[in-house]
Structures are given as structure tokens and as C-alpha cells.
Amino acid sequence: MMKESNLKIFSYLPNPRVWKALIAAEFSGAEIEVVGDKPKNLGKWLWDFNAEELPENARNDDSPNARKGRRGFSGTLFKTDGFLKAHPFGTVPAAFSPDGAIGIFESNSILRAAARAGASKNSLYGDNGFQASRIDSFLDASLVFAREAQVYLLSVESLSQENYDRMQAAYEFYLSGIEAALGVGKYLAGDELTIADISFVCDVGQFLRERFFREALEKQDYQPIGGSLSQEFPKSFHHMIHLSERAEFSKHLGNYMDGLTVN
Ligand SMILES: N[C@@H](CCC(=O)N[C@@H](CS)C(=O)NCC(=O)O)C(=O)O
């Protein structure tokens, strides 16, 4: 018999933002049901708690569920009113409580939910309110970085100087903080692994996909920003590599980090 899930996630797949929750679930014991499809296919899906691929004749701009993609998706998406009630920003990954009554959006919040759910005793989200708040501080810093990285990667083939400079500044700011934190504790928020470390690995890992656009960057007279990560921020680099090799991480990351060490 399938175990009852603690959380349901709808998204394009694979998605490092979904891996955050799946990695946390490896430690917390949460059961997570993931539903979705390749990024290019998500326009064929009905975005809903009961998400499903729509038949071709149901995919037209006159559908009451037809909405214009707003961030990362161009063209029409099919989002139900129920989906938008649960997910007012209309983004994926989109998580739901098992009965679909509560929508949880923002991958760091879905990550928190995965850490809280599940039967295993763990310190993923700290052992008291102050520790949890410190972990939140890292998650907030990570989101600010990840948002900048999202804008950068979405326009990596035709970057403005402002866009590039903003990314460079966000990278320098975030990684300097991470490097400083790792000079104090074994993990970001202290001596235990927490969801701050999970978010860090997934967000920086996603940003470092810029290496696949080296040619496009060089054509525009730019260099990959994270190309010297291992020299500039050695503690951060080693922390990321070390964690991504742990079984709970590598099970989901697969070969996503391949090529990082050759930069
Ligand atoms: N900061 C958010 C980012 C989520 C996001 O921006 N998702 C985009 C795809 S990358 C989306 O769902 N866009 C929907 C649309 O274009 O309407 C998170 O971490 O979950």
C-alpha cells in the first residue's frame, strides 16, 4: 500500500527548487508526492491540486483557465481559480497540504514544510524559535540571491550590463556571507545540518548552470560569474561539493553538479 503523503508538489521537472523539499524529506521522513512534466510540456497541463495533462481540444485561449505566463513561461498556461486561490502568485513549484486546502508557495517555504512534516526527529529547522529564525535568515538571503539568479539565467543570451552587474554584486554579497558563516560553524547555521544548507546547495547549484552558457556569455563580452568559486570562496565550494555527494542529496541531484570542479 502506498504511504499517505504529507505534501503534494506540482512543478516542471526536474527542478532544483523541488529538490530542496525532497532532500529535506530524506532526513525528516516526510512523504512527498511529486506531479509534473518537462518544462516545455507544462503549458499542456492544468495547473491545479489535481493537476493533469489536458487533451489538445481543451487547450485554447478561450478556456476559463487560460492565463498568460508571467515569469519564465511565455504563452498560455492553464491555471484553475482554485490553483490561484491557493497560489496567489501563480508559480511552481506549488505545494499543497494532503487535502488540497492549503497552498504553500516559494520553494524555501515548501522546504520548511518538508522539514516540519514526517516522523523522524531531526534538527533540520533548529530546536527552538531562535535557531529557526536564524535558519530563516539564511533562507531569506538565499531567496534574494536566487531571484537575481533567476532574472540573470532567463536573459543570459541577451544580458544588459545592468543585469550582469546586479548578478555579480548579488553573488559577491551572498557568497561572502556564506563563506563567513562557514568560518564559524561546520554548517551554515551552526554545527548541525539544517535546511539553510539544503537551500544553499540547490540555489547556488542552479545559478552555476551559467557555465553551460559560457559561449553565449563570451559572445557578449562577459565571463561566467561563478567561474572561480573554488578559489574565491573555497569553504562555500567545498561545503557544496561535500553535501552534494551525500546520499540524501545525490539521490536527487544526480549528475547536476558535474563539471563544477573543472571551471
Ligand atoms: N522564488 C520562487 C520562484 C518560482 C517561480 O518564479 N516559478 C516560475 C517558473 S521559474 C513560475 O512558476 N512561473 C509561472 C508563470 O510564468 O506564470 C521559488 O523559489 O519557488
192-212 pLDDT tens trace? 999 999 999 999 999 999 999
Atom of ligand 1 minimally distant from the CA of 77: 17
Give the C-alpha distances (Å, rounded to integers) separating 121 from 30, 71, 98, 118, 126: 11, 37, 21, 8, 11
Distance, CA 94 to ligand 1 centroid (Å)? 9
The answer to whether residue 1 scores a pLDDT higher than 60 is no
* Mean per-residue pLDDT over the chain, rounded: 96
Distance, CA 191 to ligand 1 centroid (Å)? 32
What is the mean predicted confidence (pLDDT) over 91-109? 98
121-165 pLDDT tens trace? 889 999 999 999 999 999 999 999 999 999 999 999 999 999 999
Give the C-alpha distances (Å, rounded to integers) separating 175 from 33, 234, 238, 251: 32, 10, 13, 25
Q: Is the CB of 72 under 6 A from ligand 1?
A: yes
The answer to whether residue 259 scores a pLDDT higher than 90 is no
50-66 pLDDT tens trace? 999 999 999 999 999 99
Where does the chain hold its CATH 1.20.1050.10 domain(s)? 129-253
The answer to whether residue 262 scores a pLDDT higher than 70 is no
Q: Is the CB of 263 under 6 A from ligand 1?
A: no
Q: Is the CB of 77 under 6 A from ligand 1?
A: yes
Where does the chain hold its CATH 3.40.30.10 domain(s)? 7-116
Domain 129-253 has CATH 1.10.10.10: no
- b/e 158-197 (16+ beta carbons within 10 angstroms → b): ebeeebbeebbebbeebbebbbebbeeeebbbbebbbbbb
The answer to whether residue 263 scores a pLDDT higher than 50 is no
Atom of ligand 1 minimally distant from the CA of 12: 9
Atom of ligand 1 minimally distant from the CA of 94: 20
Distance, CA 92 to ligand 1 centroid (Å)? 5
Of the options 3.40.50.300, 3.40.30.10, 2.40.170.20, 3.20.20.70, the CATH number for the domain spanning 7-116: 3.40.30.10
* Beta pairing, strands 7-12 & 94-96: antiparallel
What is the mean predicted confidence (pLDDT) over 208-225? 97
Q: Is the CB of 11 under 6 A from ligand 1?
A: no
Instruction: Choose which residue among 80, 87, 89, 92 to substitute to test ligand 1 binding: the one with the highest number of ligand atoms within 8 A of its C-beta.
Output: 92
What is the mean predicted confidence (pLDDT) over 213-228? 97
- The residue type of 166 is R
